[in-house]
Amino acid sequence: WPALLAPRILILPTPRERARALLYPNPLFETKILGEEIKRRARPGDRLHVYGSEGALFSYSGLRPATKHTLSYALTLFPKGRADYEEELASLRANAPRFVVWSTQPLSVMISSNLGMEYRRALLGFVLREYRLVGRMSVSGAAATQAPETPRFEPLPPKFRPDFDEDNQLFLFERAL
Who wins on pLDDT, 146 or 58? 58
Residue 38 pLDDT exceeds 90: yes
Task: Please report the DSSP string for 90-104 in residue order.
Answer: HHHHHT--SEEEEE-
Tens-place pLDDT, residues 142-171: 444 455 567 889 999 999 999 999 988 999
Please work out, in degrees rounded to the nearest 5, the angle formed at the alpha carbon of residue 156 by the alpha carbons of 151 and 162: 95
Say what the pLDDT of residue 143 is: 43
* Residues 18/139, Cβ–Cβ less than 8 Å: no
How many residues in the chain?
177
**% of the chain residues with pLDDT over 90:** 60
> In terms of Cα–Cα distance, which of 130, 135, 124, 132 is closest to 34?
135
> What is the average pLDDT score of the chain?
86
pTM (two decimals)? 0.84
Say what the pLDDT of residue 2 is: 54
Please state whether 22 falls in left (phi above 0), alpha (psi between -120 and 50) or beta: alpha
pLDDT band at 15 (very low <50, low <70, confident <90, very high): low
pLDDT band at 73 (very low <50, low <70, confident <90, very high): confident
Say what the pLDDT of residue 128 is: 96
Tens-place pLDDT, residues 91-147: 999 999 999 999 998 888 889 999 999 999 999 999 999 999 999 998 865 444 455
Say what the pLDDT of residue 104 is: 93
